[in-house]
Chain A
Amino acid sequence: MAKTRVALFVTCLVDLFRPSVGFAAVKLLEDAGCEVTVPRGQTCCGQPAYNQGARGDTIDIAKQTIEAFSGFDHVVAPSGSCAGMLKKHYPLLFDPDDPFKAKADDLATRTFELVSFLTDVLGIESVDSRLSAIATYHDSCSGLRELGVKHQPRKLLSSVDGVTLAEMDNAEVCCGFGGTFCVKYPDISSKMVSDKVGHIEASGADLLLAGDLGCLLNMAGRLKREGSPVAVRHVAEVLAGELDQPPIGEV
């Protein structure tokens, strides 16, 4: 049988800040028997424009992404936010008679967040990885509320040898990142991320995981500013056992 052809939408933040997450995603997908391609035509999903109300720019970027990812069985992103943009928001950008509407709908059906793709589509129940840690998992907003990512990462994490899960209070509450929100309204964002960090530390975990790099940069940045010893990683790194890169914000 031909291998499932998966295109990786690596997302701009992973591309620029933390390539190890991209390589972890590739490893997980290849271990699961997929043939992985990284289409060259990708940059960003367009959320910075979309969320600032720049609809024209958003549509241009969406068209570019739609074209770059045509022809693959599946499109997978190591981010609930970016996957949610392709899956839930691209179809809303085009009028019904626009030829891109059908293409956007088609892309939406093929697009998945990484961990939910592994579990819900490929039916993977465990991973072959080990790490000694007490981990707490932050549910990033778009993954949770737009895509229903909740039990999937916890299920796979429970199969990682040596990882114990310690749930924090308010795991489903926003960390205060919100894209450009965090620099436009820094006072509110700071309060939100401080509250979040309080819950992380109270959980007793020594490792914070999540599925979205934006949230992780925000929470890691605050944890490090407070001098916290809690390490921060993208969940894909732990699931794939790609741990050579130091935790986020550390050397």
Chain B
Amino acid sequence: MQPTSLAFKDNVKRALNDRALQSALALAEGGFQKNRAAAAARLPEFEALRDAAKTLKDHTLAHLDLYLEAFEQKASEAGAVVHWARDDAEARAIILEICRKADAKSVTKSKSMVTEEIGLNEALETAGIQPVETDLGEHIIQLAGQKPSHILAPAFHVTKDKVSDLFAEHHGRPRVEEPEALLGEARAFLREKYFQADVGITGANFLIAETGSIVLVTNEGNAELTQGLPKVHIALTGIEKVVPTLDDAFLLLRLLARSGTGQDFSAYTTLLTGPKRSADRDGPEEFHIVLLDNGRSNMLGTGFQDMLRCIRCGACMNHCPVYLTAGGHAYGWVYPGPMGAVLTPGFIGIEEGQHLPNASTFCGRCEQVCPMRIPLPKMMRHWREDQFQKKLTPPTARYGLAIWGFFAKRPSLYQFGTTIAIAALGLLGRAKGRFRWLPLASGWTGSRDLPAPAGTTFQASWRKQRGRT
């Protein structure tokens, strides 16, 4: 997809004026946050599990080649075909080729952010293959011609009223409004699509090296119908999703839903090992697993390696005051929120994605709730350092910083200069105790007053009172 991250500030303005979005964000704040806190509180070992999960992923990433090769071997032994894709173009080509061989006209899909990452739907459509999103949220988004605004709840910015309109327009049935009726209608509509599909495409939440299995997690059961009914199943996921053993996958599963939706466990967790065997009554005849790098291996051994621990739970965005103000679309690409602020510049380039790691107060809530203990603020700072080195920081900020730095590194000069400047500013603000407007300070004074300084610096007053100490 064409990124709009560079227009972040305009995107934010639009989001702030979108009342439906703002009320959805307010609800998400209460819902996701409360549910996660309650789920964590119900499990005494939750914090210990986070430590164990971090250790597990760090180990796996340190031996990623080994575990990926082991996974490939086991998956192949079970009858799956493993494909390696260096980038988005290779992944699209591999998937299109499989679809072409299957003579596919229609493809069902369960929710997968990695398919968004490679722009799969557009590629399928261009090739004359109809992609049908089967996750309810994704279905709504697809009808609306939009992109997900949240990695778990892709359509949570869409009001119920709008869903009624979309369904009436695209399902060719009378408009319904009750949630039950809307659900029933979507279910009936999608049920036919499952049976018509030639290929089913899913993501994979985890890959298990020990068994060659993939793990799929949903709340709607749509991944099972997507993978199990067509003759061909393609699972696309990132190479960082591998874990050594079945037990390891369950360690992460115990954290995933609790951190994201606040459920103890998602409604459906399916482990898939190989295609349909001769004695099986159902299942796909072909099972393809496409493992995507797309820049992930470049993060190994760098300041961004910790990001590869991410299990895409969404906790960081659910707790981010910036995400909860701006919404997901403002980030302008596939991954929003703090995880997106770290990942997106890596995918679309720091020039294009320059706003995202800067649009953070470093409040640290994302790191506080990340089940994998990913130091998200630290990695956003890495991007800022990268930007500064590449001179992408705006000139006003650079010059301002240079002048400030000149004084900050010369304490005597700093104290001399600040004493004079503060005396002047104090005099100006003395009448009201605050400024409603100051030259060059509209960023501050646009929406708040600036409290006036007292007029003498602490250091000057202190020396006057106490002399040398």
Residues of A whose CB lies within 8 Å of any CB of B are 10, 12, 14-23, 26, 36-38, 40-44, 46, 48-55, 57, 60-61, 64, 68, 141-142, 145-146, 172-174, 176-194, 217-218, 220-222, 224-225, 245-246, 248-251
Contacts and interface: CB of A to CB of B under 8 A. Distances in A.
Contact of A53 (B384, B412, B444, B452): B384
A222 B443 contact: no
A93 to B, nearest CB: 11
A34 B357 CA distance: 42
A251 B387 contact: no
Contacts of A217: 450-451
Given A36-B469, A174-B363, A178-B362, 12 more contacts: A15-B418, A18-B454, A43-B408, A49-B405, A60-B405, A142-B362, A177-B361, A185-B9, A192-B325, A220-B434, A221-B448, A249-B449
A44 B408 contact: yes
Interface stretch (B147-155, B197-205, B331-339, B456-464): B456-464
B9 A193 contact: no
Given A185-B359, A186-B446, A145 B401 contact: no
Contact of B446 (A174, A177, A180, A190): A190
Interface in B358-415: 358-365, 367-368, 381, 383-389, 393, 397, 401, 404-405, 407-409, 411-412, 414-415
Contact of B448 (A15, A17, A172, A193): A193
A193 B447 contact: yes
Nearest to A68: B411
Contact of B443 (A22, A174, A186): A186
Given A10-B459, A174-B321, A187 B408 contact: no
B179 interface: no
Contact of A142 (B364, B415, B443): B364
A10 B458 contact: yes
B434 A178 contact: no
B16 interface: yes
A174 B447 contact: no
Given A17-B453, A178-B361, A61 B469 contact: no
B96 interface: no
Contacts of B433: 246, 249-251
Contact of A174 (B365, B432, B450): B365
A225 B363 CA distance: 24
Nearest to B405: A57
A176 B12 CA distance: 15
A53 B448 contact: no
Contact of A186 (B386, B389, B444): B444
A166 B383 CA distance: 40
Contacts of A246: 433
Contacts of B393: 52-53
A18 B443 contact: no
Max chain A C-beta neighbours (<10 A), residue from B326, B409, B418, B447: B447
Nearest to A178: B361
Contacts of A142: 362, 364
Contacts of A179: 361
Interface of B: 9, 12-13, 16, 321-322, 325-326, 358-365, 367-368, 381, 383-389, 393, 397, 401, 404-405, 407-409, 411-412, 414-415, 418, 422, 430-434, 436, 441-444, 446-454, 456-459, 461-462, 466, 469
A201 to B, nearest CB: 15
Contact of B457 (A19, A26, A141, A146): A19
Nearest to B412: A40
21 contacts: A15-B458, A19-B457, A19-B458, A23-B458, A49-B405, A51-B362, A53-B384, A54-B388, A145-B368, A178-B362, A178-B363, A179-B361, A182-B443, A183-B441, A185-B322, A186-B446, A188-B322, A191-B325, A224-B451, A225-B447, A249-B451
Nearest to A13: B453
A27 to B, nearest CB: 12
B369 to A, nearest CB: 11
Contact of A184 (B326, B358, B368, B448): B358
A246 B455 CA distance: 13
Contacts of A221: 434, 444, 448-451
Q: Which 6 A-B pairs have the closest CB atoms?
A: A178-B361, A183-B443, A53-B384, A221-B448, A53-B388, A174-B363
A222 to B, nearest CB: 4
A14 B307 CA distance: 36
A15 B457 contact: yes
Contacts of B389: 53
Contacts of A249: 433-434, 449, 451-452
B447 A50 contact: no
A68 B409 CA distance: 12
B326 to A, nearest CB: 6
A15 B405 contact: no
Nearest to A193: B448
Nearest to B457: A15
Contacts of A46: 408
Contacts of B412: 40
A52 B388 contact: yes
Nearest to B384: A53
A14 B456 CA distance: 11
A46 B407 CA distance: 12
A20 B453 CA distance: 11
Given A48-B401, A52-B401, A53-B386, A60 B409 contact: yes
Contacts of B404: 48-49
